[in-house]
Structure 1
Amino acid sequence: MELGTSLEKRKVPNMLKRILQYDVQLTKKFVDLALRTTTLKSLRNHAKLFEVSCHGIVWLACWLSFIWLFNNKELYQLQVNMFIALILDIVVIAVIKAFVRRRRPVPMNKLMELGPDKFSFPSGHTSRAVLVAFILICLNPISIIFYPPLLAWVTAVSISRVLQERHYLLDVVCGAGVGLLEGLFMALIWFSQSASASILSSLSDEKLDGGEYHV
């Protein structure tokens, strides 16, 4: 009875159901076409590498290491704001997935690993890639010579999520939209250089004192 009641409460509107069905069909056609296209087929073969390159835990671990190892006042603002942005993205994606609860695609290759995360909407890898690119291009600009490889990475991560059959096309498109909105939100709350230094100071006096431990 409880299960039936839960299903009734989560009844999908007909219009949304048609959109999701069309999304499934379009995604399957895209993947099928990609498998017959040399460039996209090669991208699918490297999809696991792109998945790891934008994994939330990997980014958090690497960024914390970056904060601890590189004690440079010019980096404080980027270090603090990017860390906050990564936490924001993980929380936002987790909340949306828990609310929407759209199941991941059933891979055409039955041997492909599904993973522990059952929900696909929106794509967290895509939102994170877009968010990182937004910060490094708009909020804390890096050299323009790094823009092409950065944008190529964002594109490869996004497409690989579909080719790996971890997401539908709509998941990736909406994930990009979420990442952009998160970037705009970060622009509103962007911590200044002094505020960032204060935050790092409160977390680690040794870091701002030059990395020396006081006994």
Structure 2
Amino acid sequence: MAPKREVPPAIKKILDKDVEITKHFYVLANKIIPLDKCKTYFKGLEISCHGIPWFAFWICFTWLFNDPSLIQMQINMLLGLTLDILFVAFIKAYTRRRRPAANTDDALGQIGPDVFSFPSGHASRAVFVTFFFMWLHPLSLLLQPFIITWCAAVCVSRVLLRRHHLLDVVAGIVLGNFIGLLLGVLYVSDDTAKWLMNNLSDEKLDGGDFHV
């Protein structure tokens, strides 16, 4: 059996302080709003930003809405979601931080690296999606406040639902912005996006310049 990995004292001190601050934050929030009454709302936010529903929805959206003007946006979002899952899975597998002791009823977090807590994948995904629709493919100014509110609610709910410590969420926010910036560098051109889509399906852009 491999020896248990020891956490350096300095990092352990930070993690212990994070646990303490997270607990105080939860207690304070519970005094302001009875959190048990908000659990259904928090779980709705959890599902709204889970990786599996996002991938399923986006693949269906990409397949069903075959407007050539959307192809570049659809392909780049899929690339960003893939990068997000890969980065989160790798970091979680490496750090292996356990979720808060109070975490219960977490059926969505019991698969693979999701059993670990650092960083928050929901926070990174919410921030990346918001970054994407604010800077890479900007939504209407009327819609931007809604996606920002959703992003903030998802991030805060991860702590209030006892899924993550505060540091996990902060790391997720940083990672989500990093993935957004990275995708900005890797952003797939319109021609390449259409070429990729035609390689996935001859019917996607039937009759177009890239049809095979």
Q: What's the TM-score, normalizing by structure 2?
A: 0.91
Indicate which of 61, 67, 89 corresponds to 2:84.
Answer: 89
Q: Would the alpha carbon gap of residues 158 and 42 (structure 1) be closer, same or farther in structure 2, given more than 3 Å must change?
A: farther
* Residue 38 of structure 1, CA deviation: 2.4
CA distance in 2, matches of 1:72, 1:156: 32
CA distance in 1, matches of 2:197, 2:40: 40
Match status 1:209 vs 2:206: yes
Indicate which of 156, 165, 168 corresponds to 1:168.
Answer: 165
Indicate which of 145, 169, 189 corresponds to 1:192.
Answer: 189
- Residue number in structure 2 paired with 1:50: 45
Match status 1:60 vs 2:55: yes
Corresponding letter in the other structure for 1:93: V
> What SS does structure 1 have at the residue aligned with 2:203?
helix
> What SS does structure 2 have at the residue aligned with 1:167?
coil
Indicate which of 67, 71, 77 corresponds to 2:72.
Answer: 77
* Residue 151 of structure 1, CA deviation: 0.4
CA distance in 1, matches of 2:38, 2:124: 19
Corresponding letter in the other structure for 1:120: S
* Residue 39 of structure 1, CA deviation: 8.0
Indicate which of 127, 146, 162 corresponds to 2:143.
Answer: 146
* Residue 128 of structure 1, CA deviation: 0.4
Tell whether the 8 Å contact from 1:43 to 1:160 is kept in structure 2 after alignment: no
Q: What's the TM-score, normalizing by structure 1?
A: 0.89
Q: Could you tell me which runs of 5 or more consecutive residues in structure 2 were left unpaired when the two chains were aligned.
A: 208-212
> What SS does structure 1 have at the residue aligned with 2:12?
helix
Corresponding letter in the other structure for 2:155: S
> What SS does structure 2 have at the residue aligned with 1:80?
helix
Residue-by-residue CA offset, 1:74-97 (whole Å, 9 max, x unaligned): 101110000011111111101100
Tell whether the 8 Å contact from 1:34 to 1:41 is kept in structure 2 after alignment: no
- Residue number in structure 1 paired with 2:22: 27
CA distance in 2, matches of 1:77, 1:90: 20
CA distance in 2, matches of 1:203, 1:164: 39
Corresponding letter in the other structure for 1:178: L
Match status 1:113 vs 2:113: no
Indicate which of 111, 125, 132 corresponds to 2:122.
Answer: 125
Indicate which of 176, 181, 188 corresponds to 2:178.
Answer: 181
What percent identity do the matched residue pairs reach? Answer: 46
Corresponding letter in the other structure for 2:80: A
Stretches (4+) displaced over 3 A:
39-45
Q: Would the alpha carbon gap of residues 147 and 84 (structure 1) be closer, same or farther in structure 2, given more than 3 Å must change?
A: same
* Residue 13 of structure 1, CA deviation: 1.4
CA distance in 1, matches of 2:129, 2:194: 21
Tell whether the 8 Å contact from 1:131 to 1:179 is kept in structure 2 after alignment: yes
Residue-by-residue CA offset, 1:93-142 (whole Å, 9 max, x unaligned): 0110000000000117xxx3143132000000000000111111101111
